[in-house]
Chain A
Amino acid sequence: MDQEELNKLYDDSILQENRQPYHYGKMPDADLTLEAYNPICGDQFKLFLYTDEDSIKTAYFHGYGCAVSKASTSVLTRELEGCTIEEAKAKCRDFLNWLSEGEGAKVNAPNSWESFAAVRDFPGRLSCAQLAWETIAKEL
């Protein structure tokens, strides 16, 4: 059994984000609510955004999914705050590019993304890391 790959996927940072996700809660009074849903695996998160003019002041999320999708949604939620809508969408496109293309993508990947590089070795799990970022990139 090769545990090394597993330990990379389930590293401290992903497990920590999964266990104690950032701004995890339902916010019915948010200005914008988006749903990230993967019908194939059933993962489902709601993203709650409080906006000011066209920038995102605060973000929350709530829902159900695997450790990878939850951790990735948690990181996204933290990183959305302070972005304009356009910046948020661009950031999500960058993340998705970086995730699928690796170091070849001309993207400045912050440290917070590094753990998710491991999903490249788990093709079935790529969509878990992508889910919420794709929702923002396409639907915001």
Chain B
Amino acid sequence: MLHRYPPQHGSQCTNLISIGKRLNFTQQLKNDNSEIQSIVDARSQFPNLNRQDHRDNRIIYLDNAATTHKPQLVIDSLVNHFSNQNANIHRGIHTLAIEATSHYEESRRKVQQFINAREESEVIFTSGTTAGVNLVAQTFAQQQIRPGDEILISILEHHSNLLPWQQLAAQKGAKLKVIPITACGELDMPSLERMLTSRVKILALTHISNSLGTINPIRDIIKMARSQGTYVLIDAAQSVGSYPIDVQDLDCDFLVFSGHKMYGPTGIGVLYGKAELLQAMPPWQFGGEMIRSVQIEKTVFAAPPHKFEAGTPPIAQAIALGAAIDFIGQVGLEHIQAQNQALLAYGTELLAEIPGLQLVGKARHKSAIISFMLEDIHPHDLATILNQAGVAVRAGHHCTQPLMESLGLPGTVRASMAFYNTYEDIDQLKQGLLLAKKIFT
């Protein structure tokens, strides 16, 4: 049965956070060895923030949960690779190949340090979050899952952390179980505790909901899973680059994310896996780069990470992901996080002032994602009107159809902020929504 959202307000839903002190865009960031001394400086690194649409509106980009803009450092890294290096890696002994290989592997080290993996070999470059989940589902889980086993996910999952498990469960005769959420969009912890039994082989859970912004208490949940002998994969697509991630502290078995949601390029992502698991896993795809020796009768595969990087990888993108991590370091993750939270608080308060606006997702811990409905105006009509007002948002199911169905909604409008957004951007969002109300009444 569908119910209208929200069925009831649990008392534990968030109350409107009051704004507190305004964002200070010129605050000194205490970076000694960087050009970036303030958030204003950091903003100025994103050329696309100056884009105008065909009506000469500056395009206010509030679709950061889909993909973030790229800073000059990342753009320069891509251009530099193709202008000055451009060689295939790992198999050349000429200067260009040696340089490209060294930059590629240096980028892996940057990722390792950024997420605090124990070893470099625990960092596998993939094409993105989707590829990371599929890799684990089709290798590790393919071996682990037996008929009757359970795979546990949550109703918050993006389709890319749902479909690989749904397909695997069907193929293996395993059961796919789904943790529900409360009225405010938080994981229903009593249900989770009940469902997380020793029958659950794998728990695949998102850190942050891309539709509602809910931040799940993954550290505690991973602990609970550990005590049941359950393996855990974390979908960190919405968190890496916005929140500190320490895979050793989390103690997850796998963690996946995409470069393009953390100021890096598309086409590159990361699968982190614990070394001992990666060693025991079979390869996913077969071809060049992933072997130790090949004979017609049989092949000895390379050790991780190369075992999982068949074929020529997206070299330029991997190197530019390293540049994205450098950039985040220059701004400071703590500043990015503070900025995001301030924008969330401001946006939540401002939008709540609009009569007829219904926030969808009111978790106590949220990232800078605001999903909402305005009266009975369809999300696509709202997105069209906002686009005309120069504001880019997303409308629809956000690749979480089962979540929308459980909320009794066909979709929402989603405004998602990055640290480079401003209060003025959100003011403009509000103006656009008021215009929509005017048109539709």
Contact = CB atoms under 8 A, between A and B. Distances in A.
A15 B440 contact: yes
A105 B440 CA distance: 32
A2 interface: yes
B381 A67 contact: yes
Interface residues of A, number: 21
B380 interface: yes
Nearest to B385: A6
B3 interface: no
A96 interface: no
Contacts, number: 51
A15 B387 CA distance: 19
Contact of A10 (B396, B411, B439): B439
Which of A9, A41, A125 is the most central at the interface, judged by chain B CB atoms within 10 Å of its CB?
Answer: A41
B388 A2 contact: yes
A3 interface: yes
Interface string B359-385: 000000000000000000111110011
B381 A42 contact: no
Contact of A9 (B378, B384, B411): B384
Contact of A41 (B380, B389, B390, B431): B380
A1 B435 contact: yes
Contacts of B389: 1
A10 B380 contact: no
A128 B410 CA distance: 15
Contacts of A9: 384
A7 B385 CA distance: 10
A1 B380 contact: no
Contacts of A28: none
A66 B378 contact: yes
B384 A122 contact: yes
A82 interface: no
A9 B55 CA distance: 16
B377 to A, nearest CB: 8
Nearest to A70: B378
Interface in A1-47: 1-3, 5-7, 9-10, 15, 41-43
B57 interface: yes
Interface in A41-65: 41-43, 64-65
A136 interface: no
Interface residues of chain B: helix, strand, loop or mixed (majority): helix
A92 interface: no
Given A10-B440, A42-B396, A128 B380 contact: yes
A124 interface: yes
A80 B267 CA distance: 47
A67 B397 CA distance: 17
Given A1-B435, A42-B410, A125 B385 contact: no
B153 to A, nearest CB: 22
B5 to A, nearest CB: 15
A41 B387 CA distance: 16
A15 B439 CA distance: 9
Contacts of A10: 381, 385, 439-440
A62 B397 CA distance: 20
B397 A66 contact: no
Contacts of B435: 1, 3, 6
Which of A6, A7, A9, A122 is the most central at the interface, judged by chain B CB atoms within 10 Å of its CB?
Answer: A6
A6 B439 contact: yes
Contacts of B410: 42, 64
B12 to A, nearest CB: 30
A59 B124 CA distance: 57
A1 B396 contact: no
A68 interface: yes
Given A42-B396, A42-B397, A1 B57 contact: yes
A1 B390 contact: yes
B388 A5 contact: yes
Contacts of B385: 6, 10
Given A41-B380, A67-B381, A6 B388 contact: yes
A125 B431 CA distance: 22
Interface in A62-80: 64-68
B436 to A, nearest CB: 9
Contact of A66 (B380, B387, B431, B439): B380
Which of A42, A65, A67 is the most central at the interface, judged by chain B CB atoms within 10 Å of its CB?
Answer: A42
Contacts of A66: 378-381
Given A6-B439, A10-B440, A15-B440, A1 B388 contact: yes
A67 B55 CA distance: 24
Contacts of A124: 384, 387
Q: Top 6 closest A-B pairs, CB basis?
A: A66-B378, A66-B380, A2-B55, A1-B389, A66-B381, A67-B381
Given A10-B385, A10-B439, A122-B384, 10 more contacts: A6-B384, A10-B381, A10-B440, A15-B440, A42-B401, A42-B410, A66-B380, A67-B381, A67-B440, A128-B380
22 contacts: A1-B388, A2-B388, A3-B388, A6-B439, A7-B439, A9-B384, A10-B381, A15-B440, A41-B380, A41-B396, A42-B401, A42-B410, A43-B380, A64-B410, A65-B378, A66-B378, A67-B377, A67-B378, A122-B384, A125-B380, A125-B384, A128-B380
